Structure 1
């Protein structure tokens, strides 16, 4: 990881510099403003992305990580190279959709929509993911989420991360 200080620049100039230094998004990057708070302590205000080494814990942090990963993977796709993260892992996204099946997606690949069996998941986990998406479909678009549906999604993401450890990062995209 490299840190570069850009001094006396506009946000637009800093963003242009970040893109140029990343060689057109060939590398993950983020942009933060260094600030000294009222107590005299220095800290960062993230303008684009976040510290990639910090595991996201909130929907906002997942959105920031997503921003970094997506621009990186788009650039890899344009160069026609394997669309894996810098650590070599695939990126599997979890979110329900208004079609029957598994809520598993992998951007920038030939197999965009995935199934539990295609990922080598156990029948139990595969069925649980399928049924979780079906619970989403069983309601009308404007109906509230089924009771416990989001909590079950969190539990399934934890199980999926364990099943895909060393293979893929699992990104929950159903968080609010």
Structure 2
């Protein structure tokens, strides 16, 4: 996120007729229901999202409906994204994270096992300033995981451990080691293969 000062007089028009589009995803196949919300503030649209998702029992996302210069309708995502679209950028992974985190938080409050709607666990990958594996699972008794506890091969387990150590063996303001992020993405692909049918692997180190 970035913020910078601007001259508030640089805008030449304003509107108050926002049209919001709410996506609610249900079931293990993420069947989507879309609802357009008009004559509403953003606060009311968010309240509708909470109500129509039954208090975050279902994944949801919210977009602003707009028409471009060609007269074609499109969306500006405000919260989340289309959950059925696989993320391809760091920004899209952050939007997927928004959706998953609020869903799992609500689920943990209700008591069931903290798994995604398709029954998969969610394993997060990001480094930390302490020695160990960069593997995490929210809302569980064992928040920080190890390679052996996930049943990973010694080779993959060691590679993940060493990847975190490469992050750790530097000063906080130092640049990342050469190739560190590319290696992280390669390890995520290996981890997905190793945990296929067990967990979704989310690369939370991407920024």
State the TM bucket, normalised to the shorter chain.
Answer: over 0.9
Mapped to 2, the partners of 1:89 and 1:4 lie a distance apart of 27
Runs (5+) with no aligned partner, structure 1: none
Mapped to 1, the partners of 2:108 and 2:136 lie a distance apart of 16
Q: Deviations over 1:105-151 (max 9, x none)?
A: 00011110000111111110000000100111111111111111111
1:143 to 174, 179, 187: 174
2:57 to 20, 26, 51: 26
Larger-gyration structure (1/2): 2
Give the count of matched residue pairs.
176
TM-score, length-normalised on structure 2? 0.83
2:74 to 35, 43, 50: 43
Mapped to 1, the partners of 2:123 and 2:162 lie a distance apart of 18
For 1:15, the equivalent position in structure 2 comes to 46
Mapped to 2, the partners of 1:57 and 1:136 lie a distance apart of 24
TM-score, length-normalised on structure 1? 0.98
Tell me by how many angstroms 1:83 deviates. Answer: 0.5
Deviates more, 1:136-145 or 1:62-71: 136-145
Tell me by how many angstroms 1:49 deviates. Answer: 0.6
For 1:169, the equivalent position in structure 2 comes to 200
Determine whether 1:65 maps to 2:96. Answer: yes
For 1:82, the equivalent position in structure 2 comes to 113
For 2:186, the equivalent position in structure 1 comes to 155
Runs (5+) with no aligned partner, structure 2: 1-31
